[in-house]
Amino acid sequence: MHWTAGRGKLGVFKPLLGQWRCAMDSPRGPVVCLRHFSHTLGGKYIQLQAEWQFSDAQYQELALFANLPTKQLGFWSFTSDGKQSQGQLTEVKDIAADAFGFVAEMPAGLARQAYWPADDDGFYWAVEAKNKNGWKRFVEHHYHRV
C-alpha cells in the first residue's frame, strides 16, 4: 500500500481516504465492518463513518478528526449506543513504524486506537487499553479497499 501522508496535520489520513471493509470472526460471531473516511466541512475535518454488522445487531460510529485549539490533531467520536469520546494524536511506533494513532480517556481508563499499513494494499486498525503491564489489544481488524 502506498502509505504516504499528505500535507498538513490531516495529511496522515491520506492513505485511508475512501471506503474500506473488514470481515472476520469475533467473540459475538461473524462481523463485517465498513469504514468510510472523507474530507468534510471545507476540508477542515476528516469524517469517519463506521458500521459494524453482527448477525444480531448493528453498531455505528461517526467521528470527526481535526486540529484542536492546542494545534494538535484530535478526534470526537459518537456511537449508536449513546457513548462519546474525544482524544488526541499519540505516538504508536511500538505497533509499527508507519503507524499513527490516538489516545483517549474512557470511563474504563486510558485507550488508544492505531492505523498502520498492511502488506496487501490494505491497513490494520486496532484498539488497546492501558493496564499495569502496558497496552492490551482487544480489537484488531484488517481492512481492504471497497
120: cell is 496487501
CA 99/CA 96 separation, integer angstroms: 5
pTM: 0.94
C-alpha to C-alpha distance for 60 and 67, rounded to whole angstroms: 24
77-123 pLDDT, tens per residue?
999 999 999 999 999 999 999 999 999 999 889 999 999 999 988 99
The answer to whether 122 and 144 have CB atoms below 8 angstroms apart is yes
Q: Does domain 9-145 have CATH number 2.40.128.20?
A: yes
